[in-house]
């Protein structure tokens, strides 16, 4: 007799166990691990996923119910996905239901409104003669609507269905008839419009230079020998990393295997995607967050069917259900978007490496400014490191200079723009060249600094900036240390001390005041909310419809603007003193990236970095384009403070509407952990416990959040502590049920 362990209805996040059912003989052949099945549950009939099949009953067979049937049309999930879900649950902390929901493509039940485009079918688009014959026939038979649509499609290749109906005045029945005839196809509008089939043929491969060839060959040789490794390619923007990926991808595809290519959403632009289409044609597909769940599900199905063999997308593309995955590439590996903000809080890099292990695939990481974590692992031999030193197109690195804002203030300039920046802006406006002004954080007061001497108020215990809270106190997020807000600078006594409030809007206004004739575009979360808002603004700017683009992070990632010859970074310190141990790293990466935006054409560019502390190593090393110098200093700091990657850090965030309950529970979990840690002894090194401490924003929507932190050299010690806490939480459901608990590893 056979039994199935089943995870019921994964929509219930809190459930964290399997239920056993009898697997009747008639279902033995059709049910496998990963099948979705119908089961009786209490009085209801629900669905669940089979995660294990066994001949050992876990309880009395007399009382056990039977699996009823297999859910029609469901894609049985690969048993590897279930293994992956368990791995995630174990390493990041979540219920198995939450982990499964993350890795499984889930079809939403609600019907979703779909936008679609109409395009000529492959048959007709590749055979113009045939299309012309059909057009002539429509004309002769006075099929006016059909004629109108087909001639429009002949011109444009693909058109929005909405436009077809409203502007071309074509009815649904005409469209349906043409689809049935096989002349046109209906497609989701997700794919960056109209990747014209004919264009594929024109794609010309570029011949890799020696540096690129060497890297690609090493990876391919390993691959052919069956060595699966993780590689880190460090190479400045424009050094030709993407060409190396394309070369290795082609090799892997030729072996009949599939590829996942991760690109941060923000860099997933038309140009990037077209490079892949042109090289590999329509076996390429993309995923992005603007797609509905249904559309995403369709992409997963196509991957499962073998229609798609290269999946490009942000971190969720990792879960494309390929049956023969050979390679995962993660471009811009250092991007914080690769860390999930939902539960489980998985990191795409680590998860990719685990998936690759399960599928016998290789992993390539690439970045101009690798994450300290990845570089640390590469240095320690865990990853193989390659460096591309030269820009493939030989364009020159821009000239980067800093301006000390303390000096500006001292000399009477209170404007947002230093005199040097204003002078260069004037010059570029006169020359009709373009300017970008970059604010490396949204208008937000976090840290408190002195505008006269640059002093930043930091926690005496943690070396991170204190954060101003509404109650007039300054608080450290890492240990809960607090002190009263300051009226004068503790270092120089100046009264010019306080939080910084600058937003892109304020900058736009300031630009207009000083340069009334300049045409300014602004790009931030407010102006890009629309469906393609962000791409539209970039296109407008690239098309020369503005002189100055003001924006946050979005403007410095993945876009080429050859006419930009000046980049102004308005306040480098903004990201430097956020209360986060990765603040220096993020700042260095952002500054380096921003600097890379200027002067990519034939005209060399200028970069001006404004700061209250221009000698800070994050800024100095960025000015000198010195990654290794930055890394050396940063890793010393991490080592000293026992931060990742040298040590590991687990945070436990408890949230509840009940303030008293959440604080008590945090104390309780702390003591549970402390007892466990004492039992463990010190043979694996000590564990530091910090907290409970209030979250940055203690109360949001009447929900209170407190944090506990644990630091330890070994990751597995932290997961053991997590398991202990999870067990305690399960066993004390009465007190814990009103508290939401989230684990986060290495932030
Ligand atoms: P990265 O991914 O490192 O930013 P890309 O691969 O996008 O670099 O290359 C930057 C530019 O240089 C692209 O326009 C690309 O077409 C071009 N390029 C890259 N490698 C070569 C090469 N070997 N020969 C000619 N052009 C190249
Ligand atoms: Zn502290
Ligand atoms: Zn001061």
pLDDT digits (tens, 9 = 90+) for 158-170: 777 777 776 677 8
Ligand 1 shell residues, CB under 6 Å: 206-209, 212, 235, 237-243, 392-393
Distance 556 CA to ligand 3 centre (A): 32
What is the enclosing helix (H) or strand (E) of 298?
helix 293-305
Distance 239 CA to ligand 1 centre (A): 6
Beta strands 69-70 and 36-41, pairing class: antiparallel
**C-alpha distances in angstroms, 341 versus 11, 82, 189, 404?**
18, 21, 27, 36
Instruction: Give the pLDDT confidence score for residue 530 in this predicted structure.
Output: 56
The answer to whether residues 440 and 552 touch, using CB atoms and an 8 Å cutoff, is yes
CA atoms within 13 A on the CB side of 471: 11
Per-residue pLDDT tens for 652-687? 999 999 999 999 999 999 999 999 999 988 777 889
Distance 315 CA to ligand 1 centre (A): 24
Distance 651 CA to ligand 2 centre (A): 14
pLDDT of 193 strictly over 60: no
Q: Which residues are CB-contacts of 22 (< 8 A; sequence separation ≥ 6)?
A: 1, 2, 3, 4, 61, 64, 65, 66, 67
The closest residue, in CA terms, to atom 5 on ligand 1 is: 240
Ligand 1 atom nearest to CA at 212? 23
Ligand 1 atom nearest to CA at 237? 4
Nearest to 499 by CA among 577, 390, 557, 435: 577
Burial pattern 306-315, b for ≥16 Cβ within 10 A else e, equals eebbbbbbbb
Categorize the per-residue pLDDT at 76 as very low, low, confident or very high, splitting at 50, 70 and 90: low
Instruction: Give the pLDDT confidence score for residue 106 in this predicted structure.
Output: 64
Q: Which residues surround ligand 3, an ion (CB under 5 A)?
A: 450, 452-453, 455, 489, 491-492, 494
Mean pLDDT of all residues belonging to the chain = 85
Helices within 502-616 (DSSP H only): 504-514, 533-542, 573-576, 583-595
The answer to whether residues 297 and 106 touch, using CB atoms and an 8 Å cutoff, is yes
Ligand 1 atom nearest to CA at 243? 6
pLDDT of 192 strictly over 50: no
Residue to mutate (ligand 1; options 334, 365, 393, 596; most atoms within 8 A of CB) = 393
Nearest to 345 by CA among 686, 93, 164: 93
**C-alpha distances in angstroms, 345 versus 10, 35, 140, 593?**
18, 26, 62, 26
Q: How is residue 143 written in tokens? A: 């099929």
Q: Which residues surround ligand 2, an ion (CB under 5 A)?
A: 459, 461-462, 476, 478-479, 481
The closest residue, in CA terms, to atom 23 on ligand 1 is: 208
pLDDT of 190 strictly over 50: no
Closest ligand to Cα 263: 1
**Higher model confidence: residue 496 or residue 724?**
724
Beta strands 158-160 and 116-120, pairing class: antiparallel
- Mean pLDDT: which of 139-148, 461-470, 555-564, 616-625 is highest? 616-625
Ligand 1 atom nearest to CA at 246? 6
pLDDT of 695 strictly over 60: yes
The closest residue, in CA terms, to atom 6 on ligand 1 is: 240
Per-residue pLDDT tens for 387-439? 998 877 666 778 899 999 999 988 988 888 999 999 999 999 999 999 999 98
The closest residue, in CA terms, to atom 25 on ligand 1 is: 206
- Mean pLDDT: which of 40-44, 70-74, 556-560, 564-568 is highest? 564-568
Per-residue pLDDT tens for 505-553? 788 888 999 999 999 998 876 666 655 566 678 778 888 889 999 988 7
Beta strands 69-70 and 473-475, pairing class: unpaired
Closest ligand to Cα 394: 1
Calculate mean pLDDT across residues 460-481: 75
Q: Which residues are CB-contacts of 251 (< 8 A; sequence separation ≥ 6)?
A: 220, 223
Closest ligand to Cα 492: 3
Distance 589 CA to ligand 3 centre (A): 28
Residue 155, preceding peptide bond in cis (omega within 30° of 0) = no
Distance 580 CA to ligand 2 centre (A): 11
Distance 486 CA to ligand 3 centre (A): 11
Distance 366 CA to ligand 1 centre (A): 14
Calculate mean pLDDT across residues 548-567: 81
Ligand 1 atom nearest to CA at 208? 23
Closest ligand to Cα 601: 1
Question: How far is Cα 174 from Cα 180, in angstroms, rounded to an integer?
Answer: 10
**Higher model confidence: residue 166 or residue 587?**
587
Which of 134-143, 260-269, 574-583, 708-717 shows the lowest mean pLDDT across its residues?
574-583
Percent of the chain at pLDDT exceeding 90: 43
Closest ligand to Cα 240: 1
pTM for this model (two decimals): 0.81
The closest residue, in CA terms, to atom 21 on ligand 1 is: 392
Residue with tokens 């840690």: 677
Q: What is the DSSP string of 216-238?
A: HHHHHHHHHTT---EEEEEE-TT
- Domains, the chain: 2-103 (3.40.1440.60), 114-190 (no CATH), 210-388 (3.40.50.300), 399-444+500-639 (3.40.50.300), 446-499 (no CATH), 648-745 (3.30.70.600)
Q: At what angle do helices 348-359 and 79-92 cross, to 10 degrees?
A: 140
Q: How many angstroms separate the most distant Cα atoms in the chain?
A: 90
Distance 631 CA to ligand 3 centre (A): 29
Instruction: Give the pLDDT confidence score for residue 41 in this predicted structure.
Output: 86
Beta strands 44-54 and 69-70, pairing class: unpaired
Closest ligand to Cα 460: 2
Instruction: Give the pLDDT confidence score for residue 228 in this predicted structure.
Output: 96
Q: How is residue 559 written in tokens? A: 């876009």
Number of H helices, E strands in the chain: 26, 30
Closest ligand to Cα 449: 3
Residue 547, preceding peptide bond in cis (omega within 30° of 0) = no
Instruction: Give the pLDDT confidence score for residue 542 in this predicted structure.
Output: 82
Question: How far is Cα 477 from Cα 462, in angstroms, rounded to an integer?
Answer: 9
Q: How is residue 359 written in tokens? A: 């599928």
Residue to mutate (ligand 1; options 243, 262, 389, 556; most atoms within 8 A of CB) = 243
Categorize the per-residue pLDDT at 558 as very low, low, confident or very high, splitting at 50, 70 and 90: low
The answer to whether residues 151 and 210 touch, using CB atoms and an 8 Å cutoff, is no
Instruction: Give the pLDDT confidence score for residue 443 in this predicted structure.
Output: 47
Assign 449 to helix, strand or coil. Answer: strand
pLDDT of 223 strictly over 50: yes
The closest residue, in CA terms, to atom 27 on ligand 1 is: 392
Length of the chain: 747
Instruction: Give the pLDDT confidence score for residue 394 in this predicted structure.
Output: 65
Ligand 1 atom nearest to CA at 368? 3
The answer to whether residues 565 and 599 touch, using CB atoms and an 8 Å cutoff, is yes
Assign 34 to helix, strand or coil. Answer: coil
Which of 332-346, 414-428, 544-558, 721-735 shows the lowest mean pLDDT across its residues?
544-558
Q: Which residues are CB-contacts of 623 (< 8 A; sequence separation ≥ 6)?
A: 400, 401, 402, 591, 609
Residue 385 per-residue DSSP state: E
pLDDT of 369 strictly over 90: yes
Q: At what angle do helices 144-156 and 172-180 cross, to 10 degrees?
A: 70
Residue 692, preceding peptide bond in cis (omega within 30° of 0) = yes
Distance 395 CA to ligand 1 centre (A): 11
Distance 467 CA to ligand 2 centre (A): 11
């Amino acid at each position: 007799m056979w039994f199935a362990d089943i995870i019921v209805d994964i929509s219930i996040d809190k459930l964290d166990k399997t239920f056993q059912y009898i697997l009747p003989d008639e279902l033995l052949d059709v049910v496998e691990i990963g099948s979705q099945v119908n089961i009786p549950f209490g009085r209801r009939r629900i669905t669940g996923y089979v995660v294990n099949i066994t001949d050992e009953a876990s309880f009395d067979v007399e009382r056990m119910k039977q699996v009823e049937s297999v859910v029609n049309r469901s894609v049985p999930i690969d048993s590897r996905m279930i293994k992956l879900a368990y791995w995630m649950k174990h390493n990041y902390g979540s219920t198995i239901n939450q982990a499964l929901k993350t890795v499984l493509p889930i079809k939403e039940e609600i019907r979703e409104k779909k936008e679609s485009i109409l395009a000529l079918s492959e048959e007709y688009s590749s055979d113009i003669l045939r299309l012309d014959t059909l057009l002539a026939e429509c004309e002769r038979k006075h099929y006016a609507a059909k004629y109108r649509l087909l001639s429009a499609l002949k011109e444009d290749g693909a058109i929005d269905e909405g436009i077809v109906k409203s502007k071309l005045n074509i009815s649904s029945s005409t469209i349906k008839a043409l689809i049935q005839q096989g002349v046109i196809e209906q497609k989701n509008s997700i794919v960056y419009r109209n990747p014209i089939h004919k264009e594929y043929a024109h794609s010309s491969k570029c011949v890799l230079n020696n540096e690129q060839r060497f890297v690609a060959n090493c990876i391919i040789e390993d691959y052919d020998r069956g060595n699966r490794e993780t590689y880190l390619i460090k190479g400045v923007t424009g050094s030709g990393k993407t060409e190396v990926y394309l070369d290795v991808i082609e090799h892997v595809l030729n072996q009949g295997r599939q590829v996942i290519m991760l690109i941060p959403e923000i860099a997933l632009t038309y140009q990037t995607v077209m490079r892949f289409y042109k090289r590999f044609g329509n076996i390429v597909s993309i995923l992005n967050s603007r797609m509905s769940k249904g559309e995403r599900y369709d992409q997963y199905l196509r991957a499962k069917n073998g229609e798609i063999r290269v999946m490009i997308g942000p971190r969720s593309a990792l879960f494309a259900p390929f049956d023969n995955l050979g390679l995962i590439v993660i471009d811009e590996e250092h991007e914080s978007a690769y860390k999930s903000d939902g539960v489980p809080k998985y990191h795409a890099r680590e998860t990719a490496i685990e998936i690759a292990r399960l599928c016998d695939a290789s992993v390539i990481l690439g970045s101009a400014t690798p994450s300290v974590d990845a570089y640390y692992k590469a240095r320690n031999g865990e990853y193989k490191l390659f460096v591309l030193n030269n820009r493939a197109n030989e364009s020159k690195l821009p000239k980067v200079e800093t301006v000390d804002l303390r000096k500006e203030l001292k000399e009477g300039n209170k404007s947002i723009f230093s005199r040097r920046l204003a002078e260069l802006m004037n010059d570029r406006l006169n020359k009709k060249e373009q300017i970008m002004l970059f604010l490396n954080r949204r208008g937000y007061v976090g840290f408190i600094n002195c505008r006269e001497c640059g002093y930043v108020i930091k926690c005496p215990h943690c070396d991170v900036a204190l954060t101003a809270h509404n109650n007039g106190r300054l608080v450290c997020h890492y240990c809960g240390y607090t002190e009263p807000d300051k009226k004068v600078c503790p270092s120089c006594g100046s009264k010019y001390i306080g939080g910084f409030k600058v937003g892109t809007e304020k900058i736009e206004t300031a630009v207009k005041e000083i340069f009334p004739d300049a045409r300014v575009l602004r790009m931030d979360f407010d102006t890009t909310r629309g469906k393609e808002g962000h791409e539209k603004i970039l296109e407008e700017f690239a098309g020369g419809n503005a002189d100055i683009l003001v924006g946050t992070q979005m403007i410095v990632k993945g876009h080429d603007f050859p006419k930009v010859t000046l980049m102004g970074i308005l306040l480098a310190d903004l990201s430097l003193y956020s209360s986060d141990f990765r603040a220096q790293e993020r700042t260095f990466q952002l500054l380096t990236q921003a600097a890379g935006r200027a002067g990519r054409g034939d005209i060399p560019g200028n970069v001006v970095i404004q700061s209250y502390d221009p000698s800070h190593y994050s800024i100095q090393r960025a000015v000198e384009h010195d990654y290794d110098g930055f890394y050396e200093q940063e890793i010393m700091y991490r080592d000293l403070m026992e931060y990742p990657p040298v040590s590991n850090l687990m945070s436990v965030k408890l949230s509840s509407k009940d303030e008293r309950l959440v604080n008590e529970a945090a104390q309780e979990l702390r003591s549970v952990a402390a007892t466990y840690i004492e039992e463990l002894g010190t043979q694996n090194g000590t564990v530091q416990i910090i907290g409970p401490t209030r979250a940055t924003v203690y109360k949001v929507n009447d929900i209170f959040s407190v944090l506990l932190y644990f630091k330890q050299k070994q990751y597995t010690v932290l997961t053991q502590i997590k398991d202990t806490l999870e067990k305690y939480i399960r066993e004390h459901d009465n007190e814990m049920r009103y508290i939401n608990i989230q684990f986060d590893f290495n932030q």
